[in-house]
Amino acid sequence: MKKINPSDIILDKEEQWFEDHAEEFVNASSELRTKLIKAAANTQNKTERMNIRMSKTDMKNLKTLAAKEGLPYQSLVSSILHKYTSGLLVDIDEAKKILKLKERT
């Protein structure tokens, strides 16, 4: 295996910022670390597959939204479905109605 010389690595702007500020970061608490590791493991633990058909327009919009989020579109779909099945996906219009009602009272 060929060894990589660190001086040969070219970092993008964001990577360089993290490299320059590495000493400023603090370790996460063991409780938070455990929680994050568990969440990451659950994210990787996908055992079911699903195939769906959708319009080209919906697929194009989905890919555009995923790109804005910096995600593969399949990950975005999985996240949306998880939020929906967990009761965490909220209709924005309904949420606005509820907030307006709360403001009146």
Q: Note whether residue 42 is domain-resident.
A: no
Q: Is the pLDDT of residue 40 over 70?
A: yes
Q: How many domains does the chain have?
A: 1
Cα distances from 14 to residues 23, 42, 51, 67, in angstroms, run 16, 27, 36, 17
Question: Which residues form the domain of 77?
Answer: 72-105
Lowest mean pLDDT among 8-17, 44-53, 58-67: 44-53
Contact between 66 and 72 (Cβ < 8 Å): yes
Q: Note whether residue 81 is domain-resident.
A: yes
Q: Is the pLDDT of residue 11 over 70?
A: yes
pTM over 0.85: no
In this prediction, residue 2 has a pLDDT band, given cuts at 50, 70 and 90, of: confident
pLDDT tens for each residue of 68-93:
999 999 989 988 998 899 888 888 89
Q: Note whether residue 104 is domain-resident.
A: yes
Helix, strand, or coil here: 71? coil
How far is Cα 77 from Cα 54, in angstroms, rounded to an integer?
12
Residues written for the chain: 105
Q: Note whether residue 78 is domain-resident.
A: yes
